[in-house]
């Protein structure tokens, strides 16, 4: 059997795509290996009707809704290889199964590379986060640290003032701020520490101190850190779709990539801001494109 559409990745992007396709009565093969980007956190924010929901509960509800449509089939498995065929695509899973589909939606998300700082994994997702829109409210009016090796930190710090006025910026030894930016931050009372960060400490995921390589420390109860974002799965060599310099899949506004029959959604297409609701919306758009394109193809065959 050939499915109408295969979806690689069952996060909000892939799940919303599956929902739209299932409701359009297309046969869908949905693959997911359960490594969503936000799995380290206990609560997701900013998705209307689901503000504050546990990520696992969000997924439970989403899978329940999607799999109530009889034409959607779910594989709890990793897609390891995708090849183009005469009629579409052949996907191979880690358990050695092959599945064919006429169209393909890539929604595999991103993986984060965090700086190697002792204790970071104890606090990331609990009191250290990457996105103020997702978790700024929970840290409002607290003494915060911003650790970044990315020049975008200046913009982020300005934004963070909406949530807290008590900010310390740690460049972690990187040259990320211009003299003009340093002067502007100083004029707003924002301290910059350039000494590398060696450790975070605190209790039960709640940050208390940031430690530096010169033996000093500062007291902070939370903050933000900028991870490097990389594609979680890459099929560009086999499928020949174009990617941006950062590895994000380039699409048109409706999720079509530069390769015929291949669509992309969510974090893997670097849909920004990187949030659940944008990922879900882009999954919906990619699915509408698949339905529209298959409708045209089927019409010619009638």
Q: Which of 6, 89, 104, 109 binds ligand FAD (CB under 6 A)?
A: 109
Outline where DSSP puts E strands in 1-109.
2-8, 28-32, 72-76, 79-85, 88-93, 98-106
Q: Which of 5, 6, 13, 207 binds ligand FAD (CB under 6 A)?
A: 13
40 binds ligand FAD (CB under 6 A): yes
- DSSP single-letter state for residue 189: T
Q: Which of 7, 8, 28, 286 binds ligand FAD (CB under 6 A)?
A: 8
Exposure pattern of 200-217 as b/e (b: 16+ CB <10 Å)?
A: bebeeeebeebbbeeeeb
Q: Which of 3, 5, 7, 9 binds ligand FAD (CB under 6 A)?
A: 9
Measured from the CB atom, the residue of 218 and 281 that comes closer to ligand FAD is 281
231 binds ligand FAD (CB under 6 A): no
Q: 5 with 101: CB under 8 angstroms?
A: yes
Starting at the earlier edge strand, list the strands of the sheet with 128-129. 128-129, 222-225, 144-147, 167-170, 191-193
Q: Which of 4, 24, 28, 38 binds ligand FAD (CB under 6 A)?
A: 38
Backbone φ/ψ region at 52: left (φ over 0), alpha (ψ -120 to 50), beta: left
Q: 17 with 103: CB under 8 angstroms?
A: no
286 binds ligand FAD (CB under 6 A): no
- DSSP single-letter state for residue 243: B
- DSSP single-letter state for residue 4: E
232 binds ligand FAD (CB under 6 A): yes
CA atoms within 13 A on the CB side of 301: 6
Stretch near ligand FAD under the rule CB under 6 A, chosen from 45-53, 159-167, 170-178, 196-204: 45-53
125 binds ligand FAD (CB under 6 A): yes
Q: How far is the CB of 180 from ligand FAD (least distance, A)?
A: 31
Residue with tokens 């890459």: 234
Q: Enumerate residues 202-221 that contact ligand FAD by CB under 6 A.
A: none
Q: How far is the CB of 69 from ligand FAD (least distance, A)?
A: 18
Q: Within 10 A of 271 (CB to CB), how many other CB atoms are there?
A: 24
Residue nearest to ligand FAD (CB): 11
Stretch near ligand FAD under the rule CB under 6 A, chosen from 11-19, 193-201, 204-212, 216-224: 11-19
Q: 12 with 108: CB under 8 angstroms?
A: no
Q: Which of 2, 23, 46, 50 binds ligand FAD (CB under 6 A)?
A: 46
134 binds ligand FAD (CB under 6 A): yes
Q: Catalog residues that contact ligand FAD under the rule CB under 6 A.
A: 8-14, 31-38, 40-41, 44-47, 78-79, 107-109, 112, 125, 129-131, 134-135, 232-233, 266-268, 274-277, 279
């Amino acid at each position: 059997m050939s499915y109408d559409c295969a979806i690689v990745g069952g996060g909000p992007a892939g799940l919303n795509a599956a929902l739209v396709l299932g409701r359009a009565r297309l046969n869908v093969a949905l693959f997911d290996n359960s490594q969503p980007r936000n799995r380290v956190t206990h609560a997701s924010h900013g998705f209307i009707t689901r503000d504050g929901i546990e990520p696992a509960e969000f997924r439970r509800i989403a899978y329940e809704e999607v799999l109530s449509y009889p034409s959607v089939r779910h594989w709890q498995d990793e897609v390891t290889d995708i090849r183009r065929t005469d009629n579409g695509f052949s996907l191979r899973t880690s358990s050695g199964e092959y599945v064919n589909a006429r169209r393909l939606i890539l929604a595999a998300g991103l993986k984060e590379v965090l700086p190697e700082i002792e204790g970071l994994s104890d606090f990331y997702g609990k009191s250290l986060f990457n996105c103020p829109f997702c978790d700024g409210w929970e840290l409002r009016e607290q003494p915060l640290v911003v650790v970044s090796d990315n020049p975008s930190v200046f913009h982020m710090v300005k934004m963070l003032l909406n949530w807290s006025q008590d900010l310390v910026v740690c460049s972690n030894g990187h040259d990320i701020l211009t003299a003009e930016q340093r002067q502007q931050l100083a004029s707003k009372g924002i301290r910059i520490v350039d000494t590398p960060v060696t450790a975070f400490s605190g209790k039960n995921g709640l940050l208390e101190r940031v430690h530096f390589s010169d033996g000093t420390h500062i007291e902070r109860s939370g903050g933000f850190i900028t991870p490097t974002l990389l594609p979680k799965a890459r099929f560009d060599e086999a499928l020949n779709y174009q990617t941006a310099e950062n590895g994000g899949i380039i699409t048109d506004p409706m999720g079509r990539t530069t390769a015929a029959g291949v669509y992309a959604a969510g974090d893997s297409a670097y849909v920004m801001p990187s949030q659940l609701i944008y990922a879900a919306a882009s999954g919906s758009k990619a699915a509408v494109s698949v339905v529209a394109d298959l409708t045209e193809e089927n019409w010619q065959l009638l």
